[in-house]
Structure 1
Amino acid sequence: MNLLFKALNDDTRRQILELLKEKDRTAGEIADAFNISKPSISHHLDILKRADLVSSEKKGQFVEYSINTSILEDVLQWIITLKK
């Protein structure tokens, strides 16, 4: 859970999740949406992957990323239980 909150505690990573909410994208497509270096985007994607917020799939020479909404559903369920 700590990895999840660390991943969400960064504006760039939240913006990446917003992009992936629209559709799956390659690392290059994600990088093109930002004014930061590709290695920085790779670092952010790695953190999101380790937190299980995104998954990746190799498609030819590209890696395509998609959002993993099930982890967010799990976190929401956990937060709801805190109210009780």
Structure 2
Amino acid sequence: MEITFKAINDPTRREILVFLIGGAQNAGEIAKQFSMSKPSISHHLDLLKQGNLILAEKKGQYIIYSLNRSGFELVHAWFQGFAQYFEFPKPKIRL
């Protein structure tokens, strides 16, 4: 779980995750959304993969990246362990 929290610690990686809510994309499409080099984006994608937050599937000449539900379920379950100690308001915005 440590690598997962390291992965979501970076604002660029969090933005990539939000971008992927819209659907699976290849690295080139992801890189277009950010003003950084493709190697830098590839590094961020690799850390998100290591953190089990995204999946990478080879389709032809491209690698398609998508959100990994099981990775988010683990993070959610970890945070839910604290819910018994706090009363949280209902969220007004859904992703």
When the two structures are superposed, what TM-score results if normalisation uses the length of structure 2? 0.83
C-alpha displacement of 1:82: 3.2
Aligned ranges 1:38-77 → 2 under 5 Å: 38-77=38-77
CA drift at 1:83: 4.1
Q: Which has the larger radius of gyration?
A: 2
Higher helix share: 1
Match of 1:25 in 2: 25
The alignment's C-alpha RMSD in Å is 1.1
Which has the bigger relative contact order, CA under 8 A and spacing at least 6? 1
Which residue type is aligned with residue 9 of structure 2? N
Aligned-partner Cα distance in 2 for 1:57–1:68? 11
Percent identity, please. 51
- Distance apart, 1:15 and its partner CA: 0.6
Shift, 1:51, TM fit: 0.4
| Counterpart residue identity of residue 37, structure 2 | S
Aligned length: 84
- Structure 1's unaligned 5+ residue stretches are none
